[in-house]
Amino acid sequence: MKLKNVLVSFGVLAIILTIIPLFTANFWWIRIFDFPHGQLTALTLFAILFYFFKFDIKLKKDYGFILILSACFIFQMTKIVPYTPFSSHEIKNASSEKNSISILASNVLQKNNQYQKLKNIIAEQKPDLVLLMEANETWRDSMKNALTTYPYRVECPLENTYGMLLYSKKELINPEVNFLISDTIPSINSKLKMDSGKIIQLYATHPTPPSPQHNPRSTDRDGEMMLIAKKARKSNLPILVIGDFNDVAWSKTTQEFQEISGLLDPRVGRGFYSTYNANNFLLRWPLDHIFSSNHFTLSKMKRLKDIDSDHFPIYAKLNLEKFSTTNSKKKKLNEKELEKINKEIKKAKH
């Protein structure tokens, strides 16, 4: 096969993969292409650069092909740039840590038995709040000694890879385990008392991913995200939403989640902090999230060391500061948009 044909094939693949996620269909084989956006951008740039080696200035089709590839690259970059230092922060840097809360969230991988690695990280970071996902009774029992300083806890260990354990040094008020969409997929909501005495609202979630082995459609994931977004929108309290969303920060669903809830992403202006796949550097993207309302500023955020899971743990320290509306992404919703959200939730519940 001629080199130019190979380069054209790369270019056509990049164009197709750019277009597929634009479809609103919720089939897993469409939604899965939301994830590898960084890799797709690199592939498109590769195709553009190398195509110039075989570019024929006399052929109009070569100009047309480069033009289409360039348009794809620009579109892809608009999705990526917000998660680079070239963009301003959605959550501002903290000026102090007088009223802070530190959070460690980790999808532990249920079959993983390297408990000591996570224990070491918890001992090192000393977070106020620990959320463990994919945790069964073995994980709960194995982590018991490492979490004795966490008097407040919500434990829902399961054997279906959706167990959830929440531990807190700060008081949890009326914590609940909810099954928002499916009776096998838990989420947690609780109020939490900060050291200052102020109350915040906390949601922890881990919806199913769109994949053939988990769920052939993204309906359940999207529905759970929209439900939490609606709850967050109605709340008058400062809000934190944490967990493995099984969705990337730049997807249409996550962007809608932010617009409906008004919650902010600490990654914006700082980096990708890609937590999955810990076992494959080339296929890595941000699935684990810590969103907050604009009551918070950020002291630090980092991806933590490998614990032999397919996810890296994520850590953030936020400070509850004076309320400001300047950064909120919450948008006004018209009747048509509200109807669309409610339909999405209703579809997920059936």
Strands 164-168 and 172-178: unpaired
Q: Which residue has the tokens 């680079």?
A: 84
- CB under 8 Å to 285, separation ≥6 — which residues? 35, 36, 37, 38, 248, 272, 274, 276
Under CATH, domain 100-345 is a member of which superfamily?
Answer: Endonuclease/exonuclease/phosphatase (3.60.10.10)
- How confident is the model at residue 205, as a pLDDT? 97
> Is residue 27 helix, strand or coil?
strand
User: Tens digit of pLDDT per residue, the chain (350 long)?
Assistant: 466 666 667 677 777 777 777 766 665 556 677 777 788 888 888 878 877 766 666 667 777 888 888 888 888 888 889 999 899 999 999 988 889 999 999 999 999 999 999 999 999 999 999 999 999 999 999 999 999 999 999 999 999 999 999 999 999 999 999 999 999 999 999 999 999 999 999 999 999 987 766 667 788 888 999 999 999 999 989 999 999 999 999 988 899 999 999 999 999 999 999 999 999 988 899 999 999 999 999 999 999 999 999 999 999 999 998 655 444 566 676 666 777 777 777 776 65
Distance CA(64)–CA(88), nearest Å, equals: 34
User: What is this structure's pTM?
Assistant: 0.89
Distance CA(220)–CA(180), nearest Å, equals: 10
- How confident is the model at residue 5, as a pLDDT? 65
Torsion of CA 34, 39, 41, 46, to 10 degrees: -150
Maximal CA-CA distance, the chain: 74
Sign of the four-CA dihedral 319, 320, 326, 328:
positive
- How confident is the model at residue 326, as a pLDDT? 47
β partners of residue 242: 204, 290
- How confident is the model at residue 114, as a pLDDT? 96
- How confident is the model at residue 68, as a pLDDT? 86
- How confident is the model at residue 63, as a pLDDT? 78
Q: Where are the domains of the chain?
A: 3-83, 100-345
- How confident is the model at residue 190, as a pLDDT? 98
